[in-house]
Structure 1
């Protein structure tokens, strides 16, 4: 199976003789550097480029070209080499593009010598960069892996090599330019495309009793349960998630992809794709054994990238579970209704109330109900086994932004270079499907604020939780959400402000404060509340005016254009009427201009404001610090149990991730 990597993701290499295939749509220079165990380049003899294309175990192209094949033999690498970085750079002085932002996204693939792809990576998110580290092959404990890097440099190849610690970086960059200038560009045939097996189709759960008996709402609303494709319908349990729309088929696949001229519109499509063409098909599942369903495959849904495929697959699993559970519940309701109707008929006849005739009729009605329910349960169990097997392969393959805190992917965490498409806020499940859990994903940037409900004390999982403990858990849950938001954004693109008027959340906020990832220490007291709200309100006003006037470049010098998150603990403590009005304004207008709200509060504490705050509560996505049934899907209205994404007890993963985020922020 081909691993379609996203930035920062790695994949093991089972072969030692490989090709690195590059497709960029326009001529680029391909080079490679060798690094020791600490990643240091020992000298110019550790750099393969068009002027010196061959090193032990490595050969690169001699010219700039739209397509390249780099040969790699990992067994032939010197023992001191532990890392091979594949570099792409734009050749200067050709009158062509000066940055990757004006090109189609470059595509790199690691293949076997027979052309079979092992892993691939589409380098997106580039703008003014003219050189980029595309892939990294690295040796860890005797085994080789490939990692998608995608680190760009606006200063070109010289800046890239300088960043890698090469003292002669400018001389090597000049040698590359000279070699390319005297070379003749040639084109290497593009790697063979994968066989298109078509989009994966899921068979939505049908009623075990048949459409004429189950009374399923799908029979009335949708004309029966229909299979859905890998690209799933929009929506989520709270109606805030919008999936990417399908792209129509290409009417003229023989036309070459358009190229962007300087100053013109940019075509971000992959050079091997055609404008308007559908995304490549998902990986084919292994053949099924006779009488058994096909084994599930991670990424088995439509999408341009593995991240998008996994996102669509997760929501497909959510829809499947919702529908198969609806079919089961409809079947049970039908069986109960049918038994009651039969019993009513028996009891309506006075003759059947006396003697054994009535008892026999009642027993027969109950037997038929048990048979119908057992039949429905068998169908449900069959679907749950298949969904459980899919969850077992999908969960380990999820990227950091989708993964649970106990997923090993966090141990290889690196601060990303671009924002992901979605974020995991917790897990969802239904009573009939325990212990199956479906990740709850929400699209980024956040379209709604988050409300961590610290009220409603009671018994959870057999233990009574008082109001004080529930508030502590709510703040702990909020910190976990904040840490995840910080972790999945680039270091300079997400800023967090905290308002804790009474200082009651100091203990839970300690990881954020001690790591130094906050914009400032948590604001306390009414004065602190007013100062933070005033700054963020002014920011929203300025950005709105700039957007409406079409003058984004008129913002003040040094203006922080990153996404902003305001975390408020113990609302409405420390808030006067003006502060409450500002908070409502931020909740309503902030998301559109990059200001988001996370409220940790008990709604009953704000009862004194009456209906004034009803729009605020309705506009926020309510989450809980403990498992609770309070989210409904948009299809059949199931009450899903939400479980927050908490850090496992005793784990240091949160502190380790925050330390990396803080370290990356100091570089900006």
Structure 2
């Protein structure tokens, strides 16, 4: 049986020796890149193309042609390689005669087959227009097993843009060199790749052991840490994924019924009756690449976020396709005058609706199955998270001790999608913070905020900011993180009490316009000094009494107590402070500051907006989902916040 994929779907690979068949209807260049778990390719030597057709278990044709066969041996790829991307490019895009964009030619069709020739999955790359290069498929490693993902990620900038997106240096020169090696013509079938001897292979299975981490990847393939998430939730651009159900037996690769389900299913391709069906592997905490358990857990959480984003995207895409096909079929029925007699019209409409319902039901079944697998993984990962990644109700906080070194990331809340709101993905941001934080005390468009009065909403906003501040303090070694507080009107005394009473603040909260001015002047001078020292290479010339700790300025009730000069300094701190370890955490309602006009617009845009109540204001970079953000909540009646702050204060003494 062949699983016919749509863009974003994935499918398990029951075989590690594969043949990838490409049918383009027009001469194209076929190649492959080997990347780490983030899809980054270290250098040109990790690209298989017509000029270098054989590479670490991957063999590609040496000519541009309308039909291609690529061979892949996933057991022969180095253990540090987590993704094999199959790419197609139009040679005519370099100025030679021929097509310059995929929208002008027939949609390429790709088939993944086992070493015995049996088809595993197929994918028709539709929806391309001005693109002249495309990542057709991605073979990727997940929890010790390999899967194939239908990508269809096109690039208007051609092969150069594709290679640049995968992290290669001088992609334009590299793309030109690759395109110069091909000319349209018949392409011979690629020879099977040479297998790497068992002793030379570096392979990782879940979980990664400490010995694996110590050994590390080959020197030419260095894993790159995942970028921080905010709207992630700002990360690298990646298309959506999904998982198909197999097509009916005997269906042609492009003519059988399509299963528009979505990703991350570990169910194996149906095996012959003599072979038992393999159950999905049990989730394991820390089942990701990394040099330490914290890094592996961080990468695993990021992978769960990607999986949920793509899973939901594939489900929504399937439902949209079913709706559009139903509309088209109903229109065709109404336009056919012959179907208006004898009840044929009603029968045709009933059949169209039945096909629509079947597609939606199949997509829903796969969605439920995928979400159940993600929920099982979350149930294993959540209890294993270190304090910096854990919720406040995690028992790990009861054994908290001030760390000896800063963790790689910090949890700022949870994220979820409406498809399953109880499945929460930790929202982790990298440390040190690359941008300031803004806890919005206004109503915005949140339904939850609309149910609260203004006073209660402002109190919740400051409580949330205090919880974030406590986490930042708890994440840093003793004496390496200092907190300043501006509370010009003194309206936040109750919420700020845990910080004040535990003596973790650098100074009492600043009050009035004079206090605001003094704190801002102090931090502005610090930023100026550090920047001049760094730019001039004169770090030794800094004043001997200058505190080397990172600084956090918590501003409550902005813009109360701020004049024009103070606002200018605040903007300067937001723009220049993070590069020298001065960070901003604002509690404010943007509408309250509207009197300053567009002067503050760059300030809001430079900060990561968080909310004290659930809100769906964050978007991922892959498919643009509106993610619901859940702020960190302390358990009712819990003293964990004060206990953690007491530990921080005690370590400073």
TM category (shorter chain) comes to 0.5 to 0.7
Residue 450 (structure 1) aligned with residue 437 (structure 2): yes
Residue 372 (structure 1) aligned with residue 359 (structure 2): yes
Deviations 1:46-75 (A, max 9, x none): xxxxxxxxxxxxxxxxxxxxxxxxxxxxxx
1:620 to partner: Cα distance: 0.4
Contact map agreement 2:439 2:461 (CA 8 A) in 1: yes
Q: 1:415 to 1:382 in 2, by over 3 A?
A: same
Q: 1:627 to 1:413 in 2, by over 3 A?
A: same
Is the partner of 1:227 in helix, strand or coil? strand
1:292 to partner: Cα distance: 1.5
**2:644 alignment counterpart:** 657
**Aligned match for 1:536, one of 523, 529, 537:** 523
**1:86 alignment counterpart:** none
**1:237 alignment counterpart:** none
**1:399 alignment counterpart:** 386
**2:510 alignment counterpart:** 523
Which structure 2 residue ranges, 5 or more long, are not aligned? Answer: 1-76, 86-120, 145-165, 169-198, 201-211, 224-265, 269-275
**2:140 alignment counterpart:** 227
Residue 612 (structure 1) aligned with residue 612 (structure 2): no
Contact map agreement 1:473 1:625 (CA 8 A) in 2: yes
Measured in 1, the distance between the counterparts of 2:81 and 2:636 equals 39
1:356 to partner: Cα distance: 2.6
Measured in 1, the distance between the counterparts of 2:336 and 2:422 equals 46
Deviations 1:232-272 (A, max 9, x none): xxxxxxxxxxxx999xxxxxx99xxxxxxxxxxxxxx9986
Deviations 1:184-208 (A, max 9, x none): xxxxxxxxxxxx994696999xxxx
Is the partner of 1:465 in helix, strand or coil? coil
**Aligned match for 2:462, one of 475, 485, 490:** 475
Q: 1:371 to 1:314 in 2, by over 3 A?
A: same
Measured in 1, the distance between the counterparts of 2:278 and 2:218 equals 41
Measured in 2, the distance between the counterparts of 1:370 and 1:213 equals 25
1:654 to partner: Cα distance: 0.4
Contact map agreement 1:449 1:587 (CA 8 A) in 2: yes
1:277 to partner: Cα distance: 7.4
**1:424 alignment counterpart:** 411
Deviations 1:597-641 (A, max 9, x none): 001100001111111111111100011111111111111111111
Measured in 1, the distance between the counterparts of 2:299 and 2:418 equals 24
Contact map agreement 1:202 1:229 (CA 8 A) in 2: no
1:658 to partner: Cα distance: 0.4
Measured in 2, the distance between the counterparts of 1:588 and 1:565 equals 14
Is the partner of 2:278 in helix, strand or coil? coil
1:503 to partner: Cα distance: 1.2
Higher-RCO chain (CA-CA 8 Å, sequence separation at least 6): 2
Contact map agreement 2:213 2:292 (CA 8 A) in 1: no
**2:583 alignment counterpart:** 596
Contact map agreement 2:402 2:476 (CA 8 A) in 1: yes
Measured in 2, the distance between the counterparts of 1:385 and 1:214 equals 30
Contact map agreement 1:406 1:647 (CA 8 A) in 2: yes
**1:622 alignment counterpart:** 609
Contact map agreement 2:440 2:609 (CA 8 A) in 1: yes
Deviations 1:81-136 (A, max 9, x none): xxxxxxxxxxxxxxxxxxxxxxxxxxxxxxxxxxxxxxxxxxxxxxxxxxxxxxxx
TM-score (structure 1 length as normaliser) = 0.60
Contact map agreement 1:200 1:230 (CA 8 A) in 2: no
TM-score (structure 2 length as normaliser) = 0.61
1:325 to partner: Cα distance: 1.0
1:359 to partner: Cα distance: 2.0
**1:647 alignment counterpart:** 634
**2:219 alignment counterpart:** 276
Contact map agreement 1:202 1:230 (CA 8 A) in 2: no
Measured in 2, the distance between the counterparts of 1:272 and 1:475 equals 46
Measured in 2, the distance between the counterparts of 1:378 and 1:202 equals 28
RMSD over aligned Cα atoms: 3.5
Q: 1:271 to 1:347 in 2, by over 3 A?
A: closer
Q: 1:652 to 1:305 in 2, by over 3 A?
A: same
Which structure 1 residue ranges, 5 or more long, are not aligned? Answer: 1-195, 232-243, 247-252, 255-268, 281-285
**Aligned match for 1:300, one of 287, 290, 297:** 287
Deviations 1:391-413 (A, max 9, x none): 11111111111011111111110
Is the partner of 1:298 in helix, strand or coil? coil
Measured in 2, the distance between the counterparts of 1:355 and 1:625 equals 62
Map residues 305-454 of structure 1 onto 2, 5 A cutoff.
Answer: 305-353=292-340, 356-454=343-441
Query: Which region of structure 1 is more displaced relative to structure 2, 352-361 or 464-473?
Result: 352-361
Measured in 2, the distance between the counterparts of 1:619 and 1:609 equals 17
1:502 to partner: Cα distance: 1.0
Is the partner of 2:419 in helix, strand or coil? helix
Q: 1:275 to 1:228 in 2, by over 3 A?
A: closer
1:353 to partner: Cα distance: 4.6
Contact map agreement 1:214 1:330 (CA 8 A) in 2: no
1:357 to partner: Cα distance: 2.4
Is the partner of 1:519 in helix, strand or coil? coil
Contact map agreement 1:565 1:596 (CA 8 A) in 2: yes
Measured in 2, the distance between the counterparts of 1:307 and 1:586 equals 31
**Aligned match for 1:564, one of 533, 541, 551:** 551
**Aligned match for 1:497, one of 477, 480, 484:** 484
Measured in 2, the distance between the counterparts of 1:454 and 1:221 equals 44
